[in-house]
Amino acid sequence: MIILSTDDLDASIDYYTQTLGFTLKFRDGAHFAAFDGNGITIALATPVDHPIPGKVVVGIKTDDVDASAAEAVAAGGGMVTAPYDDAHERRAVVYDNQGNGIVFYKSLGK
């Protein structure tokens, strides 16, 4: 998943669906939306739900969020947000060894 920043989710959804032709897969209120990007999920998030607002972030689905985050940090990255559970998933936000943002996530299956 690639997560992009937006300050106006409705306008961004219109742009990605009407202009670029993406199909909306999921919307979470006024702060997050995900699109089918032909094999990769393109997500839009406002500062409320964006892991590093204003930056492009890669989201990586994993079976073990805690271990993935620890491995990334041990290999020269940095922790932004330690692993935690939100309403939908467990996630952690890290930087890689070059300062790029990564979100490791796993559905909570609730």
pLDDT tens track for 11-35: 999 999 998 899 999 999 999 999 9
Mean pLDDT across the stretch 60-85? 96
Cα–Cα distance, 38 to 99 (Å, whole number): 27
Mean pLDDT across the stretch 68-81? 95
Helices H / strands E in the chain, number of each: 2, 8
23 DSSP β-pair partners: 36
User: For the whole model, what pTM was predicted?
Assistant: 0.83
- Interacting residues of 85 by C-beta distance below 8 A, sequence separation 6+: 108
Q: Reduced to 3 states, what is the DSSP secondary structure of residue 65?
A: helix
Cα dist from 89 to 17, 77, 102, 104, whole Å: 25, 22, 15, 10
Cα–Cα distance, 92 to 106 (Å, whole number): 10
Q: Left, alpha or beta for 58 (phi > 0: left; psi -120 to 50: alpha)?
A: beta
